[in-house]
Amino acid sequence: MTEFMDVHRGMKGITGQQLQEAHKADLAIEGEERVHFKQAWADPDTGTVYCLSEAPSADAVQRIHERTGHPADEIHPVPLTV
């Protein structure tokens, strides 16, 4: 398992509730791809959302995000952390 940071753009004006709901939708099906979404951070002004996950591959992360209606614009493996 590797950690991934994915980035969504174009989510201007996202609210705390919308972020919660999007995260909940991901959590509901993430197990089917052996993904786990750990945390997410949103900047509503620029519409940027960062999601930190643990997953077998970037494709697995994207399949979950696609099925819940919010495909990521970038997905980076982040094997180094501090």
Q: Which is nearer to a second copy, 31 or 77 (CB)?
A: 77
Residue type, 75: I
The rounded distance, in Å, linking the Cα atoms of 54 and 38 is 7
Sign of torsion over alpha carbons 44, 47, 50, 51: positive
Tokens representing 47?
A: 């519409």
Asked whether position 42 contacts a second copy by CB under 8 A, the answer is yes
Q: Smallest distance, Å, CB 57 to a second copy? A: 14
Whats the size of the chain, residue-wise?
82
- The interface with a second copy within residues 13-32 (CB under 8 A) comprises 14-16, 19-20, 23
Question: Which CB atom, from 34 or from 38, has the smaller least distance to a second copy?
Answer: 38
The site for a second copy (CB under 8 A) is made up of 3, 5, 14-16, 19-20, 23, 39-46, 48, 50, 52, 76-82
